[in-house]
Amino acid sequence: MEPGNQTSVSEFLLLGFSQDSEHLPILFGLFLSIYLVTVLGNLLIIVAISSDSRLHTPMYFFLSNLSFVDICFTSTTVPKALVNIQTQSKAITYAGCIAQVYFFLVFGGMDTFLLTVMAYDRFVAICHPLHYPVIMNPCLCGLLVLVSWSISLTYSLIQSLLMLRLSFCTNWVISHFYCELTQALAIACSDTLISHILLYMVIGLLGIVPFSGILFSYIRIVSSILRIPSAVGKYKAFSTCGSHLSVVSLFYGTGLGVYLSSDAPSWRGMIASVMYTVITPMLNPFIYSLRNRDIKRALQKLFSLV
């Protein structure tokens, strides 16, 4: 490729795990296994919820959406990483990189919004149980998911269009196993001020605001649980949100690790990204199925029909 502006860029180079080439076969097998478990586990959650009428409630409606988003989120990065590991290639096309940035932002944003909506659902269920069927009606549930999709799709489109305007002169190397937005902006040789402003604004929108909503919901939930007189009642109330709290902790913990290390590519940053984009979506089905009797019962019923 000859140096020039964005019109001459045909591909980027993803360094990824190429620094440790002797372990590539092990990495390929590990990534492939995790990907298959992620897709199968989340598909089972979706099918179990769809097939059991007792799970047609707001909580499980949001969970099925989360499982679908997790499948798509992992599929945005892992298949390309598997191809590059298998072929020992570092290349991703310019169009492929833009597409990967777009879908990564879409599904990453949806994960954040769905976890926030699920926290609100648990808040209403525990703090306002008598009004729960009225507040969390099907119309509101559908509207919350629709608004979440609209915001994620709109922001991701704007950010991707801004990236299309950037020039990449002589440096096309991204020190990651996927097209990570902040690193792509870092190697651009044109002005990225607008892209960075939008990025930080959305980090606030998708990070601080939803997390504050989740935190507020759980403060109210804990306060309500502590007022329950019986220990059995407290345990039952807490068990309904234990799985969600575990997923939130895992998602935000690994996500924070990614963004704290995004400006300084390293193996630590790579591990944080793997945890965020690969491990977390794989663990979600296990967390919800192992800690949830309704899901266990639905899965047992599903397997008995096979």
Distance between CA 135 and CA 44 in Å, rounded?
29
Instruction: Please report which helix (H) or strand (E) contains residue 91, including its range.
Output: strand 91-93
What integer pLDDT is reported at residue 267 of this predicted model?
Answer: 64
CA dist list (Å): 91 to 9, 18, 172, 253: 12, 12, 10, 30
Helix ranges (H only) for 128-177 are 132-135, 138-164
What is residue 19's predicted lDDT score, i.e. its pLDDT? 59
* Domains (range + CATH), the chain: 6-305 (1.20.1070.10)
Select from 109, 120, 181, 119 the least CA-distant residue to 147.
Answer: 109
The whole-angstrom separation of Cα 6 and Cα 163 is 10
Residue 259 is encoded by which pair of tokens? 């963004």
Nearest residue to 93 (alpha-carbon basis) of 188, 172, 157, 3: 172
- pLDDT values of the chain reduced to their tens digit, one per residue, 306 residues: 344 444 456 788 887 766 566 777 888 898 999 999 999 999 999 998 998 888 899 999 999 999 999 999 999 999 998 888 888 878 888 888 899 999 999 999 999 999 999 999 999 988 888 999 999 999 999 999 999 999 999 989 988 888 888 777 776 788 788 888 888 887 888 777 888 788 778 777 777 888 888 889 889 888 888 887 777 777 777 777 777 888 888 888 777 766 665 555 556 667 777 888 888 889 888 888 776 777 878 888 877 765
Dihedral Cα 295, 296, 300, 306, nearest 10 deg? 50
Integer Cα distance of 195 and 212 in angstroms? 25
pTM of the model: 0.88
In the chain the first and final C-alpha atoms are separated, in Å, by 54
Angle (CA) 16 19 22, round 5° = 110
For 93, the 3-state DSSP assignment is strand
pLDDT, residue 69, reads: 95
Residue 152 · residue 160 · CB < 8 Å: no
Q: What is the pLDDT of residue 99?
A: 92
Distances from the Cα of 146 to the Cαs of 33, 125, 141, 291, in angstroms? 32, 21, 9, 28
What is the distance between the alpha carbons of residues 104 and 64, in angstroms, rounded to a whole number? 19
Predicted confidence at residue 58, as pLDDT, reads 93
d(CA 59, CA 136) in angstroms, rounded, equals: 9
Nearest-angstrom CA–CA distance, 269 and 261: 5
**pLDDT for 268:** 65
